Each structure stands twice: as structure tokens, then as C-alpha cells.
Amino acid sequence: MALVQSPPMNDAALIAEIDMGSDSSALTVRATVVQASTIFYDTPATLDKAERLLGEAAGYGSQLVVFPEAFIGGYPRGSNFGVTIGNRTAKGKEEFRKYHASAIDVPGPEVDRLAAMAGKYKVFLVMGVIERDGYTLYCTVLFFDSQGHYLGKHRKIMPTALERVIWGFGDGSTIPVFETAIGKIGAAICWENRMPLLRTAMYAKGIEIYCAPTADSRDVWQASMTHIALEGGCFVLSANQFCRRKDYPPPPEYIFSGTEDVLTADSVVCAGGSVIISPSGTVLAGPNYEGEALISADLDVGEIARAKFDFDVVGHYSRPEVLSLIVKDHPANPVTFTSLSSKTEGSQLPLQ
């Protein structure tokens, strides 16, 4: 299954790569983007597949592994959930119930397992999931360090097109950039990568390894990834699923809207295109359109400084007296409760 585009490193080489003293720009990081399909409606089996792929990537010396958008929980490509303007069908509502059941809680047992996997294989893990928060779903990316700790999450702040029917909207509190031993890591999901203000916020947080899990396999996606690498002076790691019709449940359980009569079991419904790009715009690995694969490259962290010398979008190339951005990075809660128990007795007026 796996196509690995770099030779394996032994343990001594890995230690030498990480231990570079005070000169962090001399660091080299082996990164892998996973191009593989979800096992739809079967989250435990998808977690088993994720662990197998993670172990395989670690065996080739990967220190950072990025999975596609919605890998855990599934990207419901082709489905419309029975939605038309002014109407929702009973079948579509049942489809959403099953999709909701395949999502995961954060925190929750699946998150604990992913953390344990990252610790077991000693890799930094970036995983696309469908997050369940009550009865609302979010397209989310989870981050784990190589010691098996859950770092946090990014929720997609703007679902694309019909995605808005099934996914909620993230807010400014979940656009983190994490400072790690291998660099500052963050993520934007699929078409929110085209939002210049979101990208600017991430650049301002100092992102160095920019993860872009996606569901877009078109050639034009590559132009966006190259532009972000050049604009942000960062490495861009874009992971997409590679899926055939047979990777989804058969009809009538799952219908690709209006196309079931022309799709065969082997029809490709998402062609991948996963890629790794350097801060100079050089394609280091991929894009791959051939099938499920592990796509790997060695990231020369010193390339970030070389690229920033030319262009630092939030540094010497900024003009804050002319152009500026305000990011509201607090949670946007629809309801806030103030507990009566938080009031002290001294705050009450005395009886007269």
C-alpha cells in the first residue's frame, strides 16, 4: 500500500537529527503525510488502520505524521443528507444519526487511544477527525506530541458549501500554533486555507510547519499550497484521502447523489494529491494521485530563515500603520452561566 519517498533512518540518526544544540535552524525533521481512506461508519476499524499506518511511518524514521481531513469519522463525499431548500428527508436525518454515531468526543476514549499511539511510536501526530460536541459536529484537527500528550485542537472555522449543513463553525479560540521540539506546528483545513486573514493570524503566531489536511484533489489545490509556503515562509504538509466507491458503504445505505448509475466499485471518488512543499516553494514529495500512500520528506528547518530573509509577511514586509488585523481568540459561547455559588456572602447587602 505505502509509497515512501525517503529512505529509513536508524535510531542513532534520529537522535542526532533532534540533538543539534542551540542552533535549532540546523534541525532536520522527517515528516510524512498519510494518503488513505476512512473505513466509513466504522470508527474502531479506522483507528486500527491509523495505528498501522502510523507504525509504518515511524518505521521509516518519521518524526511527524499528518493524516487527512476527517480521517476519523469520515468525509461524507457525495452525500446531501436529504437536504433541499425548505426540506429535510427522513432518510437524510437517519444518515446524519449514523454519521453522528461515528464521530468522537474530545476529550474521549478515541483521543486517549490516539495519544497512546503517538507515544508508542514516538511521533508528533496531526489527525483529522469529526468531533462530536453534544449533537453538533465539527471538522477538527487534533495535535499530539511524541510523548503521548494531547496538545489541543483546531476546529474548521468555515465549512465549505453543503458542509455547513452537517458541521458547526469553529471560533478564534481553536486556531492554535504549538511550539514543539521539531518546530511550531498548526493547521488549517481544506478551503479555509484560502482565507487570507486566517493565514495571517497563523503567520503571526510563528507557524513553521503548516499542516493542511484537505478533501480537495484538484490540480489547482497545488497552487494554493505552493502560495502558502512562499507567503508564510513555512513548510506546508497537505494530506488528502484517496478513496474509491468501494471505500464507502454500498447502496442503498450510502448514495452518491445522482451518480450511483455510473460509479463502479473501483471508481476513484477522491484522487489524493497529498504533497509536501518547502518554504522556498520547492515540492519535496508528491503530489501523489496513484493510490493510498505514505509520502515523506526531510524538512531542513534552516530553509525557514532563508525564506524569511526574502519575505516575512508579519515581519519586515508588514506595514501595521497601514494594514492590521484583529483576531478575536476567545470562545464564542452561545450561552454563559454565572453560578450563584460563586457569589460570596460579603457581596450581599446587609439587612436594615
Angle among Cα 55, 61, 67 to the nearest 5 degrees reads: 50
Query: Beta-carbon neighbour count of residue 77 at 10 Å?
Result: 17
Catalytic residue among 69, 95, 292, 303: 69
The CA distance from 197 to 270, in Å, is 28
| Annotation says 69 is catalytic | yes
Task: For residue 138, give the nearest of 120, 157, 110 by alpha carbon.
Answer: 157
User: What is the distance of C-alpha 138 from the center of its chain?
Assistant: 12
Sheet of 209-211, strands arranged across = 177-180, 183-187, 209-211, 235-238, 274-277, 283-288
- Give the cell for residue 171: 471560533
Phi, psi of 207 (to 5 degrees): -55, 135
CB 79 within 8 A of CB 56: no
CA dihedral over 253, 259, 261, 265, signed as positive or negative: negative
Sheet holding 293-300, edge to edge: 150-155, 136-144, 124-133, 64-66, 28-35, 293-300
Any idea which residues carry the catalytic annotation?
A: 69
